[in-house]
Structure 1
Amino acid sequence: MVDSTRRIFNSWLAATAAATAACMTPASVLAQAAKPAPAAAAAAIPRLRIVIPANEGGGWDQTGRALGAAMTAAGAVAQVEYENIGGKGGTIGLARYVEKYDADPDAVLMSGMVMVGAVALQKPAVDMSRIAPLARLTSDYEVVVVKGDSPIVTAKDLIAKMRADPANTIIAGGSAGGVDHMFAGILSRAAGNTSALVYQPFAGGAQVVSAVESGKAVAGISGYSEFSENIASGKLRAIGVSSKNAFMGVSSVRQQGVDADLANWRGVFTGKAVPVQRQAVLLDAVRRAVATDAWQKSLKRSNWDGYWMEGKDFRGFLELDQSMAGILTYILKLKS
């Protein structure tokens, strides 16, 4: 049974990495394709609501607001309004979006791997089959941090502590079932005791930072952009990242002997009842946005990778991610 679940787990990691690589459009090609000829440029959408299923300041909020700014910079949208609906890995925002904006041609929803995992863990009444995918936008990596003066220096040190004293090795991160929780489960699995993982979920990166700095959590997991200021100030120390290679001067967990890597992705969806023709208009607005200098600067500032997917490629990737998230949740024994 152990060998079987290990094969499934490693297959999921390999499959998601392969799907990302196969479907990724190079930024230079995308920028060229996304720039319409002046005569063919579509008229601006007068007003667009971007629903962000998280509190302000986190990764979804940063991505949604960067996308909105890029849309206006591209002339694709005249005015953007933002609506934050936080809680439970985006599932509260998902349900509210479906209830209020399912047929609204002027509303889109930010989503991503965190929501996929939260749906797999919580099994809410409203799942992601109720929304229509437009495009995947970004990918970034999980960073593991400890307090600046912590005796834990490497990922191996953290795993050793998780193995020796799991009950007192509290890991702070985002919503239950999300990518932070998944990566905590991967570390716990490396320590040989997934059932003993003590994971404390928070609604945003600021709370994760506070938990680690106050000593209420031994380590924290989130995207680099949510920790960068505190890492630079020395209040936090990064001890590993979930990429295959070093990232932002931090060695990867894989390089430290843990055979796993994991990328977080974010994308944009619309209502299932929005006509296909209108979905195409919204997708074109997103294409135009990601070709702007404003968007490229946002990627660089937040240390995100621009991973573009649309159409059948994105739908296929999403189906794989959803089907395997349930298996990963089971293997890692994640609990809400």
Structure 2
Amino acid sequence: MPAAWAQASPPVLGNLRIVIPANEGGGWDQTGRALGAAMLASGAVAQVSYENVGGKGGTIGLAQYVQKYNAAPDTLLMSGMVMVGAVALQKSVVDMRAVQPVARLTSDYEVVAVRTDSAIQTPKDLINRLRTEPGSTPVAGGSAGGVDHVYAGMLARVAGKAADLTYQPYPGGAQVVEALLSGKAAVGISGYSEFSDSIASGKLRAIGVSSKRPFLGIPSIREQGVDADLANWRGVFTGKGVPPAAADVLLEAVRRGVAHDAWHKAIKRSNWDASWMEGKNFAGFLDLDISMAGVMIYLLKLKQS
């Protein structure tokens, strides 16, 4: 971000509302609240409030956002790859065309974890289990159609058992951890920040990460002989009824927030990759992502649980 964005100047907005289409504590919630805190710290906004609306990969929150805030110039919607996939899988009446993109903020990777005492030691062990015992190898992750589900489908396709995948969708990372620790699931897929405490305490063990190279000391799935990598992204949107000038004001406020040291610290603390994108570039990226989501769901034989 250009240094000029970080210079002190009057607030761009008085009050800002950030709608987070997920329960508290998950990746969208962490990102939305970190962005709000950075926008406050930068002076871009005078006050921030948050509205959590969880369920079905963000599609419930998306529908409510469009109904309540379609023309609200002071309200952002957190979104990302999870919502794109969930909309495609559920064939939602309200889809991503009902909102307009503001900016892409972050990317992160999928961590594949098991209980510490699991017999699954490596990604190849997991592929063998998915190939020979798919029914007794349930995989826990986020909402149906989301990035965790897509990555589970990729692994099952490598095993040649995409149609036999047993996927357990949960509303947040805490529930994925609980499913693993209780034995309800054999494998869990989520972002690193949602597994980090359990990995650090020794309750869970990471067997790989979906990046092309090692990430935070975790070897990549690809480097361990399984051809499956994937990056998740998160960003912010505004209502389709918000006029261009008001959308530009929101974009400027977000720019100032992500230029501030508070945002840089949040990026480092949460082990996200900064992946800023705006304007026509982000709109084009989103169009491609929406197109690819339908193809991936078909190829991976993903289905609602």
TM-score grouping bracket, smaller chain normalisation:
over 0.9
What is the Cα deviation at residue 44 of structure 1?
3.6
Q: Distance in 1 between matches of 2:148 and 2:161?
A: 17
Which of 252, 269, 276 aligns to 2:237? It is 269
Distance of 2:67 and 2:12 partners within structure 1 = 26
Q: Which residue in the other structure is 1:32 paired with?
A: 3
Instruction: Tell me the alpha carbon deviations over residues 35-85 of structure 1, each in whole angstroms, 9 at most, x when there is no partner.
Output: 35x5xx453411110000000000000000000000000000110000000
Residue 314 (1) aligns with residue 282 (2)? yes
Which structure 2 residues correspond to residues 60-79 of structure 1 after superposition, within 5 A? Answer: 60-79=28-47
Q: Is the 8 A contact 2:12 2:252 kept in 1?
A: no
Counterpart Cα distance in 2 of 1:33 and 1:153: 49
Distance in structure 1 (CA, Å) of the matches to 2:10 and 2:240? 23
Contact 1:31 1:290 in 2 (8 A): no
Q: State how far apart, in whole Å, the 2-side matches of 1:167 and 1:230 are.
A: 26
Unmatched 5+ stretches in structure 2: none
CA distance in 2: counterparts of 1:321 and 1:329, whole angstroms: 12
Give the alignment of 1:288-303 within 5 angstroms: 288-303=256-271
Q: Is the 8 A contact 2:27 2:191 kept in 1?
A: yes
Supply the distance in 1 between the matched residues of 2:288 and 2:224 (Cα, whole angstroms). Answer: 28
| Alignment deviations for residues 277-304 of structure 1 (CA, whole Å, 9 cap, x no partner) | 0100000000000011100110011100
Match of 2:210 in 1: 242
Q: Provide the rounded CA distance (Å) in 1 between the counterparts of 2:56 and 2:48.
A: 25
Q: Which amino acid aligns with 1:278?
A: A
Number of residues of Structure 1 aligned to a counterpart in Structure 2: 304
Distance in 2 between residues matched to 1:260 and 1:56, nearest whole Å: 29
Residue 33 of structure 1 and its aligned partner are, at CA, apart by 5.6
2:116 is the counterpart of 1:145: no
Segments ≥4 residues shifted beyond 2 Å: 31-36, 41-44
Aligned-residue Cα RMSD (Å) equals: 0.9
Within 1, Cα distance between the matches of 2:167 and 2:190? 13
Of 65, 87, 90, the residue aligned with 2:55 is 87
- Which residue of structure 1 lines up, in the alignment, with residue 222 of structure 2? 254
Q: In terms of mean alpha carbon deviation, does 149-158 or 41-50 score higher?
A: 41-50
Pairs within 5 Å for 1:153-192: 153-192=121-160
**Residue 103 of structure 2: SS of its match in structure 1?**
strand
2:22 corresponds to: 54
Percent of aligned positions with the same letter in both sequences?
Answer: 69
Q: Does 1:124 align with 2:74?
A: no
Secondary structure of the equivalent of 2:241?
coil
Give me the TM-score of the superposition, normalised by structure 1.
Answer: 0.89
Amino acid at match of 2:5: A
- Counterparts of 1:282 and 1:33, CA distance in 2: 17
Alpha-carbon shift at residue 132 of structure 1 (Å): 0.7
TM value normalised by structure 2: 0.98
1:96-155 CA-partner distances (Å, limit 9, x unpaired): 000000001111100000000001100111001000100000000000000011111111
Rounded to whole Å, the distance in 2 between the matches of 1:292 and 1:110 is 19
| Separation in 1, partners of 2:90, 2:76 | 23
**Conserved? CA contact 2:6–2:42, under 8 Å:** no
